[in-house]
Amino acid sequence: MRPRITTTLLAIPLTTAALVAASALPAAAAPPGMAITTAAAVTSLNQVITNITIWIGGLLGGLATLLATIGGVRYLLANGDPGEVIKAKETLKYAAIGYGVAVLAPLLLTILKGFVG
């Protein structure tokens, strides 16, 4: 059984690393050659869809990071309790699904642009 201070000290660097990784998601989600623009500079439907996709990708990345942090802390604090370990693993699974959707957001954007034109 780990003392709570050790668990907390382990959770802090993991959370920091996850937050740094999630902050890079919106910039990485922009298609090559297309910059993120302000609301006043939007001139086409494609740019609006791109901006919305970038924002949604960033939100999904942030939510997945939050879930990963919660799942990790729950796993560390489970202390071998099988019920708590299962709940923590489910939370980590949902975080992985969230990261997957955030990474696939640009692909979904391309498919949507194909339908819209």
- The per-residue pLDDT for range 41-56, each reduced to its tens digit, is 677 887 887 788 788 8
- The per-residue pLDDT for range 79-105, each reduced to its tens digit, is 889 999 999 999 999 999 888 888 887
For residue 78, what is the DSSP state? Answer: S
Name the pTM for this structure.
0.56
Name residues whose C-beta falls within 8 Å of residue 18's C-beta, 6 or more positions apart in sequence: 65, 68, 69
Residue type at 60 in one-letter notation: L
**Distance of alpha carbon 46 from alpha carbon 109, whole angstroms:** 9
**Distance of alpha carbon 50 from alpha carbon 36, whole angstroms:** 8
In this structure, what token pair is assigned to residue 104? Answer: 């696939």
